[in-house]
Amino acid sequence: DTAVSQTPKYLVTQMGNDKSIKCEQNLGHDTMYWYKQDSKKFLKIMFSYNNKELIINETVPNRFSPKSPDKAHLNLHINSLELGDSAVYFCASSQELAGRAEQYFGPGTRLTVT
Amino acid sequence: ELKVEQNPLFLSMQEGKNYTIYCNYSTTSDRLYWYRQDPGKSLESLFVLLSNGAVKQEGRLMASLDTKARLSTLHITAAVHDLSATYFCAVDTAHDMRFGAGTRLTVKP
């Protein structure tokens, strides 16, 4: 069973469109994340979310919004896509346990905006 | 603002050699992680280091943490081709989570 899954794996779309990426984890974790990895492999955290708190990286444009229908899902919705949004987006989850909270990453979604 | 710096960013080494990747961070933290990423793949957790002086080993990789120096190292012993990947350190504080820029390791025969 895949611990953290994302769909779609590839997403090609035009500028100005709105798209969503879905993420599901079956680990029972209480915190989920979205990361953006650019072409230089640099990883930037976009959001972290648990059932108590949404933490937004202040550098993330408000065109990006996380939506969590339940504890096991954190979807990423992007409005008015721009060329600079092209990247690989990773979802991750973690559980605070005995002082550790290593993250388990999904397979990634490669978004290409044309 | 939490900053995490890794060096080197690129590392080409021959099989059988030893080398160390360094991870410096700017604020107090007791939680440091090392991840591996193969090309086109996701990130895989390698080590979790939770306290000063922590040392973890798995195969040819050994990670250590010095919280006073705000430094973690990932030591590679007798490198083999299968270790070729990008290695990230990540630091977790109560208010922030940051990854280093990654070290792209290539092990050549």
pLDDT tens for the 109 residues of chain B, in order: 889 999 999 999 999 999 999 999 998 877 899 999 999 999 999 999 988 888 999 999 999 999 999 999 999 999 999 999 999 999 988 767 889 999 999 999 8
Question: Among residues of chain B, what percentage have pLDDT more than 90?
Answer: 82
Q: Indicate the residue type of A112.
A: T
pLDDT tens, N- to C-terminus, chain A (114 residues): 669 999 999 999 999 999 999 999 999 998 899 999 999 889 999 988 887 688 777 789 999 999 988 889 999 999 999 999 999 999 999 987 666 678 899 999 999 999
Query: What is residue A15's predicted lDDT score, i.e. its pLDDT?
Result: 97
Q: Considering only the beta carbons, identify the residue of B37, B45, B97 that sits closest to A48.
A: B97
Q: Nearest CA to CA, how far is A4 from chain B (Å)?
A: 11
Measured between beta carbons, which residues in chain A are less than 8 angstroms from residue B102?
A: 41-43
Min Cα separation A42/chain B (Å):
5
Q: Do A43 and B102 touch (CB under 8 A)?
A: yes
Which of A23, A32, A41, A97 is the best residue to mutate to test the B interface, defined by the most B CB atoms within 10 Å of its own CB? A41
State how far the Cα of A92 lies from the Cα of A29, in Å rounded to an integer.
10
Instruction: Identify all chain A residues contacting B99, using CB atoms and an 8 Å cutoff.
Output: 42-45
What is the bridge-based pairing of β-strands B4-7 and B19-25?
antiparallel
Cβ-Cβ pairs closer than 8 A, A with B, add up to 47
**How far from B90 is each of A18, A32, A42, A52, B48, CA to CA, in Å?**
31, 16, 12, 23, 10
How much is the pLDDT for A98?
Answer: 63
Write down the pLDDT at residue A100.
64
Q: Where are the beta strands (DSSP E) in A8-86?
A: 10-13, 19-25, 31-37, 43-50, 54-56, 64-67, 75-78
A44–chain B nearest CA distance, Å: 7
The predicted structure's pLDDT at residue A77 = 97
d(CA B8, CA B12): 10
The closest CB to that of A102, out of B45, B98, B102, belongs to B45
Structure tokens at A50: 């648990």
- What pLDDT score does A79 carry? 97
